[in-house]
Structure 1
Amino acid sequence: MVVDLRVRGGGDGEPLLLLLHGLGASGGVWAEWGPVLAQRWSGRWLAPDLPGHGGSAALPEYTFEALAAAVRPLVEPGTVVLGHSLGGVVALELAARAPVAAVVGLGIKVAWSDEELSRARALAARSVGWFGSRDEAVARHLRVSGLAGLLAEDDAAVQEGVREQDGRWRLALDPRAFGVGAPDMAGLVARSAAPVSLARGEHDPMNTDEQLARLGVPVVTLAGLGHNAHVESPAECVALVRSRAARR
């Protein structure tokens, strides 16, 4: 199935770096990476809005496999993939079915309780919520995406997270995307044909060093950073990707 994706990018040459955002965000969260990549990445980069996010079309059903299939046409031989949170799981799915050279999963939640999964299913079952003002919708988007306090309300990436229709506002996020469930991390790592590295911000409440270490792949902890480490410190995260790509 071909999905209409909004994609931004830059650079020239190889290797291609594919950047996949987390749940509720959009490819706009990588905007500050552009200048850093221009100096420190030798090839091109692409940052799509995942299906049901930002300016990309929705899916009939949201699974990790379906999300990976939607971005699969962007991959070429030798592609390095960095995915954040949900995007990190999608990156691992890609590594099992595409010519990926290396994968870095950043801030992936690997342990889920029954209560957390039940809450996610309830969110997925809700109809689209409408707000009477842009400010209300933006505030909700910042909370859902985890970007509150990191991006200003007038940031372009934040503007991409909301839509206006007939004087009302909603999130660009398709709420059904909450229903992807918990990833089979051990299985995904085992099926990856590319080297896998996992990373987390030191203060990320979504995971622990111990949880990631149990998966048997290299784990990097980024000192002083949180769940959205890629937004907090693009330079440090680019350095991480460069180091992982060099080891492929």
Structure 2
Amino acid sequence: MMSSTSSGVYDTQDPVGAPVSALARLDTVWLHGAGLAGDTWGPITAGVARAVTPDLPGHGRARLIKPPRVEAYADALSHLVPQDAVLIGHSLGGMVALELAARLQDRVIALVLIETVPTVRDRLSGRVSASLASGLFQSIPLSWLAWLSGLGQSRETCTELRRQMARMDRVRIAAALEAAACYDGRPRLSQIGVPTLLIVGKQNTATHHGTALMAARIRGARLVKLPGGHMLHTDNPVQLKRSIDDFLCRSLPN
């Protein structure tokens, strides 16, 4: 397991206090999770000049795609991936990043998946959770969604979830959940040939099984567990950014 805090490889400071070096010189594409938008990465990418943070279809200002599928999301976003890009994805965005990395092997030089599983269809608990979540979001008043999304979260994550979810509607939330529930990226895992970092939050064990599967099937993949839950970019932005930068410094030294 790679250490998330290795000294001597960082040379600048960014707004959230995490030193950066590789992130400052590489083209990075950051793909957010379901119910969020590209601006959720703001505190982390504010000091990263070559970062691209698009909205996934049906999120932020991006139009819906029907039927909502991870594969269709990858189709819509592939033109934003430059040559020699690092793909960084969280949750649903990680599924899209996985799909893009398998397709665009001539353009992608590294892959970082945060709190991502390749599918929720391999375990009964995942299928049941996806079904319950979809039903819940379609049955409760919209005014409750933002409030419920922050329950049990850290103060920073609660604030961000409620800000983001307040901008969504029932149709868009249902579409995002459908896209995640229908995707099966397991066949893609053996196709990933670039350096890959898998990051999970210690407090969110729901993703650990799927991440372990990816670690076993992606050649040379490294796994890091950080303090925090599913929303690591708000729970623990400094260590998250340092872990990513350390990995890129080691894997892409030039």
TM-score, with length taken from structure 1: 0.73
Structure with greater helix percent: 2
What amino acid sits opposite 2:239 in the alignment?
E
8 A Cα contact 2:137 2:170, kept in partner? no
Distance in 2 between residues matched to 1:124 and 1:192, nearest whole Å: 31
CA distance in 1, matches of 2:31, 2:62: 13
In angstroms, what is the RMSD of aligned CA positions?
Answer: 3.2
Residue 55 to residue 158, structure 1, CA distance change in 2 (3 Å): farther
CA shift at 1:213, angstroms? 3.3
Note the alpha carbon deviations across 1:94-151, whole angstroms, 9 max, x for none.
Answer: 1122311111111113464235325535655789567474xx34214446xx967443
What's the secondary structure of 1:93's corresponding residue?
helix
AA aligned opposite 1:195: P
Distance 1:171 1:31 in 2: 25
CA gap 1:114/1:222 in 2 versus in 1, 3 angstroms: closer
Equivalent position amino acid for 2:247 in 1: R
**Residue matched to 2:217:** 215
C-alpha distance after superposition, 1:152-188 (max 9, x if no partner): 54x5x6434324xxxxx94583312212336444422
- More contact order relative to length (CA 8 Å, sep ≥ 6): 2
Change (3 A) 1:215 1:185: farther
Sort the Cα spacing of 1:219 and 1:183 in 2 relative to 1 into closer, same or farther, 3 A. Answer: farther
Q: Are 1:108 and 2:133 counterparts?
A: no
Match of 2:89 in 1: 83
Percent identity at matched positions? 24
Contact 1:105 1:198 survives alignment (8 Å):
yes
CA distance in 2, matches of 1:67, 1:125: 23
Unaligned residue ranges in structure 2 (runs of 5+): 1-22
How many residues of Structure 1 are paired with residues of Structure 2 in the alignment? 221
Partner residue, 1:49:
55
Distance 1:54 1:207 in 2: 25
Higher strand share: 1
